[in-house]
Amino acid sequence: MTQLNTPYPATAYLTGFLRSQTEVQGLQVIQSDPALDLVLAIFSSQGLSELRDQLAKIPADQLSKPSRRFLFHFNDYIRTIDATVRFLQGRDPSLALRIVGRNFLPEGDRFAAIDETAKVTDDPMAWAFGHLGVQDQAKYLASLYFDDLADVIRNDVDPRFEFTRYGEKLAASQPTFDPLEKALKGEPTWVDLKLDQIAADLYRAHRPDVVGMTAPFPGNVLGAFRMAKVAREVLPAVKLLLGGGYVNTELRSLSEPKVFDYFDFITLDDGERPFLCVLEHLQGKRSGENLLRTFVRTPAGQVRLISDPKLHDIPHRATGTPTYDGLKLDRYLSIFEMLNPMHRIWSDGRWNKLTLAHGCYWKKCSFCDVSLDYIGRYDPAAADQLVDRMEALIRETGQSGFHFVDEAAPPALLRALSEKIIERKLSVTWWGNVRFEKAFTQDLAHLMARAGCVAVSGGLEVASDRLLKKMNKGVSIEQVAQVTTALTRAGIMVHAYLMYGFPTQTEAETIDSLEVVRQLFEQGCIQSAYWHRFSATVHSPIGKNPDAFGIRLLEEPKVTFARNDLEFEDPSGADHEWLGQGLRRALYNYMHGIGLDQDVRHWFTPRPGKKTPRAKAENQFSIH
């Protein structure tokens, strides 16, 4: 459960790489996305019929309001679900005309926001979307319809269910394996049983000798372990590997032997070389002592990390071209998770994923996990090779949209790539993450736009020069304003990542940051943004040296499983929960052009006996 609109890239990367290898003779590599299969099984006429049967087991007076409503309108949901899924897959676009008429889909509590907006405007959908076509409006309404159904599942069938994560709290920074193990050994939910069946069918269809799973986020971990459990039952001799972003970040201190009841090998960081070493070992071509960054359980029952110092990672240029072969590209769903313009690009439409460079060329930000390999080891590919990979993916998928999933795309490489795209007369659409540094001139912005760039995201973070310097971001507010203006003038949409609650950040500084953001929206420098609450992590400079940033880490429990987020005391005493509510409220309105002429204090709920600080960041920067 990661994205519904496009495959997560890890399996495509590894499949392409492993198929290119001659070291492992006779290797057949097949990939699948059971998360997509699970969603399509649930959100179908058959799935909703089963959901009704699940609800029938619960006394009526104990059902939530969404579930009672679902049962009352069950025939309407059965009548509309399969057609709506086809519409969101892009296979029945004419249905949009019926959906926007507001008399086709049954509407539950998730549609209340539209009704509330109707109280202040005659055309609430135009307020949200301007004068775009019916397709966008229909996708948004269909997404609300899906959210209504997800509420039914979450309220009365499986409280862990989310579209982009499942059982996240069981894995995120959990010091022990106990909560996850309890869920795995407990009574399975209806969703669990659906996933178990999908996994069993996959194993029986392909009869694999080895299964590798990627768990990029905490919300993927429960599903991965359930699928591993099923594999042990269906194919007792199968060997199981686990890797991915969650493992790389949170399981580096792993010492719990029970984890290996489910997986035989757990690999850290880039998967190409570790995976290849494990396969060679299983074929008898490599000793078990010659693995790379791989956890195993010893015969004595201890967890051991094996990493032969003579082994090195595959260079980025040699990892091969990703392949989506085997994935059901025409079955992914374009969902509007929220009206934020950049999140719309993230969740709507299918994108070919590609990495321009391994790691981050800056790798200095104090809040970032710069000590980890996936950020700290910078290794770019050549522009010619990248365009070769783009052309290969276009031929394979028939789609020319690309999401560059870099930590931060290097400006020099983006210039070379843009020139090469134009030189080869390649018609593509692309977007990715950047640092708002001075190398992004007006000239480069226009070149990127000519080459197909439609959007970038980048970290403005705290929007305070004092704090930007403290976090070693390497940019200033003035510089961000200049760069974002250049990008916007070139027709490239700009999304800003924002952060609040950074160590020593006061309430007054947070209000000032919002004022800077207001000015950026008002002057047209940015069109989209999102606030994140700061979190101290174990692999960041802040986590490694908290005294230098004015915070005190709280005592940790004994860790045998996951370790990432660190609890800390901040002497600023700011009420970050209260601030977060106002920041999000302001941003939601700014993205719709509302309230830009109001004092930023307007968005914060008054507190008894406390004043909201006045912003002092007026005329913070100038646009040249």
Question: What average pLDDT does the segment 464-477 reach?
Answer: 92
User: Which residue did the predictor score with more confidence, 242 or 25?
Assistant: 242
Structure confidence at residue 486 (pLDDT) = 96
Mean pLDDT computed over 59-77: 96
Write down the pLDDT at residue 35.
92
CATH code of the domain covering residue 353: 3.20.20.70
User: 15 and 115 in one domain?
Assistant: no
Last-in-domain residue among 282, 317, 352: 317
372 vs 68, 364, 442, 537, CA distance in Å? 48, 12, 34, 12
549 belongs to a structural domain: no
- pLDDT higher than 90, residue 124: no
pLDDT at position 382 over 80: yes
The answer to whether residue 268 is domain-embedded is yes
Same domain, yes or no, for 227 and 248? yes
Phi, psi dihedral angles at 489 (to 5 degrees): -65, -25
Tens of pLDDT along 330-377? Answer: 999 998 866 677 878 888 888 999 999 999 999 999 999 999 988 999
One domain, residues 138 and 179 = no
Provide the CATH number for the domain around residue 251: 3.40.50
How confident is the model over 405-418, as a mean pLDDT?
Answer: 95
Mark which of 265, 299, 317 sits at the end of a domain: 317
pLDDT over 80 at 292, yes or no: yes
- Provide the pLDDT for residue 616: 85
Give residue 85's pLDDT. 97
Reply yes or no on whether the pLDDT at 122 is more than 60: no
Q: Which of 38-52, 335-349, 454-468 has the highest mean pLDDT?
A: 38-52
Claim to verify: residue 210 and residue 126 sit in the same structural domain: no
Helices 45-56, 34-42: inter-axial angle, 10-degree rounding: 70
Average pLDDT of the residues in 387-401:
96
Task: Examine residue 280 and state whether it is found in any structural domain, yes or no.
Answer: yes
Final residue of a structural domain among 266, 282, 317 = 317
Q: Are 244 and 215 in contact (CB under 8 A)?
A: yes
**pLDDT value at 42 more than 50:** yes
Q: Which residue has the higher pLDDT, 592 or 271?
A: 271
Q: Which residues of 578-604 are buried (b: 16+ CB within 10 A; e: fewer)?
A: ebbebbeebbebbbeeebeeeebbebb
Reference 364, options 459, 244, 255, 506; nearest CA is 459
476 and 576 in a common domain: yes
Say yes or no: 18 and 53 in one domain. Answer: no
What is the model's pTM?
0.92
| pLDDT at 206 (0 to 100) | 96
Q: Is residue 522 part of a domain?
A: yes
In a shared domain, residues 236 and 142: no
* 622 domain residue, yes or no: no
pLDDT of residue 609: 87
More confident residue, 75 or 335: 75
Q: Are residues 427 and 350 in the same domain?
A: yes
Q: Mind listing the pLDDT tens digit for each residue in 129-145?
A: 554 568 888 999 999 99
Name the band, by pLDDT with cuts 50, 70 and 90, for residue 437: very high
- Looking at residue 36, its pLDDT comes to 94
The CB density around residue 155, as the number of other CB atoms within 10 Å, is 17
**Distance between alpha carbon 402 and the CA centroid of its chain, in Å?**
16
Q: How does residue 624 score in pLDDT terms, banded at 50, 70 and 90? A: very low
Total count of domains within the chain: 3
Give residues with Cβ within 8 angstroms of 115, minimum separation 6.
124
- Looking at this protein, which amino acid is placed at residue 420? K
Query: Residue 361 corresponds to which amino acid?
Result: Y
Report pLDDT for 165.
83
The 10s digit of each residue's pLDDT in 163-204 is 888 888 999 899 999 999 999 999 999 999 999 999 999 999
SS3 assignment, position 504? coil
**Beta-strand (E) ranges in 351-506?**
352-354, 357-358, 379-380, 401-404, 429-434, 453-461, 493-500
Of 117-126, 456-465, 506-515, 527-536, the poorest mean pLDDT is in 117-126
Residue 165: inside a domain: no
Contact by Cβ (8 Å): 162, 56: no
In a domain, 611, yes or no: no
The average confidence (pLDDT) of the chain is: 92
pLDDT of residue 134: 81
> Does any domain span residue 201?
yes
Residue 27 confidence (pLDDT): 86
Does 409 score more than 70 pLDDT?
Answer: yes
Q: Do 467 and 595 belong together in one domain?
A: yes
Same domain, 247 and 385: no
Domain span including residue 495: 327-538+572-603
Query: What would the pLDDT profile of 477-513 be if each residue is shown by its tens digit?
Result: 999 999 999 999 999 999 999 999 999 999 999 999 9
If asked whether residues 332 and 256 sit together in one domain, one would say no
Specify whether 245 is located in the same domain as 152.
no
> Which residue type occupies 82?
D
